[in-house]
Structure 1
Amino acid sequence: MSQTEQPTERRDRVARPRSRRAFLVVLLVALVLLFVGPWWVLVVLPQWPVAVFVAGTVVFLGGALLFPVLMFLGHGPRALDRVAAVADTTLGVVWILLTWSVLAIVPRYVLAAAGVPDPLRSRIVAAAVAGVALVLVCWGVVEAMRVPRVRTTEVVLPRLGAGLDGTRVVLLADTHFGPIDRARWSARTAAAVGALEPDIVCHAGDIADGTVAKRRAQAAPLGDIHARLARVYVTGNHEYFGEAQAWLDHMAELGWTPLHNRHRIVERGGDRLVLAGIDDATAVGSGLPGHGANLAAALAGADPNLPVLLLAHQPQQVRHAAAGGVDLQVSGHTHGGQIWPFHYLVRVDQPSVHGLTRHGERTQLYTTRGAGFWGPPLRVFAPSEISLLILRSGGA
């Protein structure tokens, strides 16, 4: 070891292998949980004939071994879209199988209490789990691929002037243009946004998974969206997996205003509203120069007496918004959990999963379930949405 090497450098060299080992351990545990649970319920407990047992075991074992390879090829340096789509779909299907394999404990006990013997009891449960999973996967694909439904919410902002009462704010987030080409879905979604005759359109981040070059066609319809007062955009965490600055630049080319720790003022009827935006919470760790959520910079020069609508990708950023006196923060990120019951895990990390919530005396937070999906092309008990927020003044 060099005598000039600093203690922090030595610690970093030790920490990196430990981090890799920890990641491998977590990956192994996840694979065991995802594949062994359904295998046990669907293949082992029913005591199927040997041929069925062997076939089922080969399917689950092969899936467990291939899954990390597919994820690496699909989402690693090579970024093979077709492989990523297969890996993502596998993840969704196995998650649903695991969920309902765990829930199968209840009917198992019910059948046991009713005197149904094994292996008939276990075969009935296995058939039920497989049937429910099949229905949910098919339904989940339809829900994920449809144009999001419009969810309308009135939000009262006491500091909003009467001239801005009734302002129509359309919130998009988490379009996640990715391995599955959804250019036609994007065009239909953009048309649905336009049909709402918005005054302001906000995109709260996670536009795409991939580079601008790969996702340009899918993102293009965003340029066709029109708004009376403003179209504004902030980065999400997924932009920082690739080309955050490139997406900021591309949205500007499409006619949107990137709120990269900055604000703009909109006015109607003699009253004004501050539209501010901050980078995603993960931006500071990306290493990109000039990136990192900075609310003070975003509001610099704004009249403190004006109401503030803040775009911030993650709901957890509301703690800064509340401390900064923001009136309304709009966010995405959670997908409403996307595939039930994942929202329980999301709730551990975020203060809100969806809907309108209050944080402190002044600040409200609206969290949209998002328009698209990440990873598995499935939405189960977490419908996508285009959020229409109708702003009301305190005197309305």
Structure 2
Amino acid sequence: MATFGDGGGGKGLPLFRVHPLRLATRSTSPLRGRIGKQKVAAKAAVRRYRGALPFSHGARRQRTNPIFQLIFSLPCLYVIGRWLWPLSLAIPVKLGVAVLLLLASQYHSWSRLSSGSVFAPEFPRAIVIAFNWAFGAILLLAILQILVDLGTLVMLIVQRGTVVPDGVRYAIAALAALLAAIGVANAIRVPPVVDVEVAIRDLPPQFDGYRLLQLTDLHISRLFPAAWARKVVDRANASGVDLIVVTGDFIDGSVAMRREDVAPLAELRAPDGVYAIPGNHEYFFDYAAWMRHLTGMGIRMLPNAHVLLARGDARLVLAGVTDLSAPAVGQAGPDLGAALAGAPKSAPVVLLDHQPKMARQAASRGVALQLSGHTHGGMIRGFDRIFALANGGFVSGRYDVDGMTLYVSNGTGLWPGFALRLGRPPEMTRITLRPAPPHHQ
């Protein structure tokens, strides 16, 4: 049995366009100055509004960010300068390889050309896989070349005249290509079910052994299409849980682009239902349209809202909040107070929050368990600390946050703009609730 409490959701975009007023430019009216100011203001408002409108296929038009492009170009430039150019190859060959490397490094620009968004490459799946492999290989080769250069620098200090033979450069290139292939294969596989047991303070005995399955960061796209989604759904339905939750980032693409790919999610089944929250990527592709579509598929969204799960006279609060990126597109930001409004004070709270960085605030509000995603587990072990810095220190797995348990899933899928996993495998997380021992209460 379930009853809803809603703290209010976000506002959808209007369904009409506003056009600037065509005002006379040679008015002799005494109101000419005021009208001129109104005209400028109207045009500015329209420009802002159009910036928030869906792209022609439903995605917000993504402007090219020079810093974004520079970050992804630097590894390629380093590879060209420090790996390719010292090789004993003819200049035309080097130039040809350099062009190929530069083309691969601009994968996100090609994605934007294909769909209007760097987040949704609309190429055949094989091409998306190839781009991710090439892009990953360039990044890994840059890292390996940096290590070689550091080693060379040390050798130069010890003995002069050290030269790195071509064989070493070819070897690290082969290693980078192999690791990239392994990383992409790990990223796109259907993830296993990972079991996690969590002790909940004040958990009613009726909920001892209650099981829920967390899916997150599905990123359904050309890389993770309907066939992949179907296998995820089949594995989820066979997991034997009481409840299924999805903690955001369902998609990369508009409803029109992803309608068939997300269709298998309508078959998710659990005795207590399927609940979800939006992630930041839902706001990139017409949030209001996606909320309507997912709700129509039988997935019950919890945007700053909660539901009461019942076992006899015992209650468990399942609450959800919107994403931190929501206000940037005119939607309601996360509001835990609204989400918990009307919830019984005595019932433990399980919170769904796409990003983990606000976990300490949730703990201060008495939340017992927070489930998050967003970080993809850092994707590459060793580099996950970079992701942790941007997410409040949280990146993968279980954390004790001021008495609250935070679990950050590695993710079920992955953003198709950088699909590489080395040491941080994907997962579908089956969480079993247990009452906390008295000394942990």
The answer to whether the Cα contact below 8 Å between 1:37 and 1:98 also exists between their aligned partners in 2 is yes
CA deviation profile, 1:220-270 (whole Å, cap 9, x unmatched): 222212112231100000000012222222222222211011111111254
Q: Given the alignment, which residue of 229, 232, 238 partners 1:189?
A: 232
CA deviation profile, 1:312-371 (whole Å, cap 9, x unmatched): 00001213312211111100000011245542221111131111101113x211000000
The one-letter code of the counterpart of 1:354 is S
Q: Which has the higher contact order (CA 8 A, sep 6+)?
A: 2
CA deviation profile, 1:8-43 (whole Å, cap 9, x unmatched): x9xx99xx9xxxxx9855246425512111112321
The one-letter code of the counterpart of 2:146 is V
Q: Given the alignment, which residue of 122, 136, 145 partners 1:92?
A: 136
The answer to whether the Cα contact below 8 Å between 1:108 and 1:122 also exists between their aligned partners in 2 is no
Deviation at 1:61, TM superposition (A): 4.3
CA deviation profile, 1:265-312 (whole Å, cap 9, x unmatched): 111254210000000111122113xx2211111101001111000000
1:213–1:118 CA distance, 2 compared to 1 (3 A): same
Deviation at 1:88, TM superposition (A): 5.1
Deviation at 1:94, TM superposition (A): 2.5
Q: How does 1:119-130 map to 2 (within 5 A)?
A: 119=163, 121-130=164-173
1:62–1:227 CA distance, 2 compared to 1 (3 A): closer
Corresponding residue for residue 214 of structure 1: 257
- Tell me which protein shows more helix as a share of its residues: 1
Deviation at 1:89, TM superposition (A): 5.1
1:23–1:222 CA distance, 2 compared to 1 (3 A): closer
Is 1:200 equivalent to 2:243 in the alignment? yes
> C-alpha distance in 2, partners of 1:285/1:27?
18
Corresponding residue for residue 156 of structure 1: 199
Q: Given the alignment, which residue of 364, 369, 380 partners 2:405?
A: 364
Is 1:74 equivalent to 2:114 in the alignment? yes
> C-alpha distance in 2, partners of 1:394/1:264?
23
Deviation at 1:198, TM superposition (A): 0.8
More off after superposition, 25-34 vs 139-148:
25-34
Is 1:260 equivalent to 2:303 in the alignment? yes
CA deviation profile, 1:92-141 (whole Å, cap 9, x unmatched): 3332222222233355468879989765x242331122111111121112
% of aligned pairs identical?
31
Q: Given the alignment, which residue of 237, 240, 243 partners 2:286?
A: 243
1:216–1:31 CA distance, 2 compared to 1 (3 A): closer
1:340–1:34 CA distance, 2 compared to 1 (3 A): farther
> C-alpha distance in 2, partners of 1:80/1:202?
27
SS at match of 1:251: helix
SS at match of 2:252: coil
Q: How does 1:125-144 map to 2 (within 5 A)?
A: 125-144=168-187
Query: Max radius of gyration: which structure?
Result: 2
Deviation at 1:146, TM superposition (A): 1.1
> C-alpha distance in 1, partners of 2:107/2:201?
52
Normalization by structure 1: what TM-score?
Answer: 0.86
The answer to whether the Cα contact below 8 Å between 1:262 and 1:278 also exists between their aligned partners in 2 is yes
1:190–1:237 CA distance, 2 compared to 1 (3 A): same
The answer to whether the Cα contact below 8 Å between 1:47 and 1:53 also exists between their aligned partners in 2 is no
The answer to whether the Cα contact below 8 Å between 2:188 and 2:223 also exists between their aligned partners in 1 is no
Corresponding residue for residue 345 of structure 2: 304
Unaligned runs of 5+ in 2: 1-32, 49-62
Corresponding residue for residue 19 of structure 1: none
More off after superposition, 299-308 vs 81-90:
81-90
SS at match of 1:74: helix
> C-alpha distance in 1, partners of 2:377/2:121?
28
The answer to whether the Cα contact below 8 Å between 1:164 and 1:269 also exists between their aligned partners in 2 is no
> C-alpha distance in 1, partners of 2:162/2:86?
9
The one-letter code of the counterpart of 1:171 is Q
The answer to whether the Cα contact below 8 Å between 2:356 and 2:372 also exists between their aligned partners in 1 is yes
Corresponding residue for residue 394 of structure 1: 436
Is 1:180 equivalent to 2:242 in the alignment? no
The answer to whether the Cα contact below 8 Å between 2:155 and 2:162 also exists between their aligned partners in 1 is no
Q: Given the alignment, which residue of 43, 67, 75 partners 1:34?
A: 75
The answer to whether the Cα contact below 8 Å between 1:204 and 1:332 also exists between their aligned partners in 2 is yes
> C-alpha distance in 1, partners of 2:117/2:396?
33
Is 1:343 equivalent to 2:384 in the alignment? yes
More off after superposition, 175-184 vs 105-114:
105-114
The one-letter code of the counterpart of 2:114 is G
Is 1:378 equivalent to 2:417 in the alignment? no
1:55–1:245 CA distance, 2 compared to 1 (3 A): same
Deviation at 1:74, TM superposition (A): 3.2
SS at match of 1:148: coil
> C-alpha distance in 1, partners of 2:306/2:109?
43
Deviation at 1:215, TM superposition (A): 1.1
> C-alpha distance in 1, partners of 2:149/2:327?
44
Corresponding residue for residue 146 of structure 2: 102
1:67–1:175 CA distance, 2 compared to 1 (3 A): closer
The one-letter code of the counterpart of 1:355 is G
CA deviation profile, 1:51-92 (whole Å, cap 9, x unmatched): 44333333334545x546414303526966018936655543
User: May I ask how many residue pairs the two structures share in their alignment?
Assistant: 379
Deviation at 1:206, TM superposition (A): 0.1
The answer to whether the Cα contact below 8 Å between 1:281 and 1:292 also exists between their aligned partners in 2 is yes
Normalization by structure 2: what TM-score?
Answer: 0.77
How large is the RMSD of aligned CA atoms in angstroms?
Answer: 3.0
Corresponding residue for residue 100 of structure 2: 59
Unaligned runs of 5+ in 1: 17-21
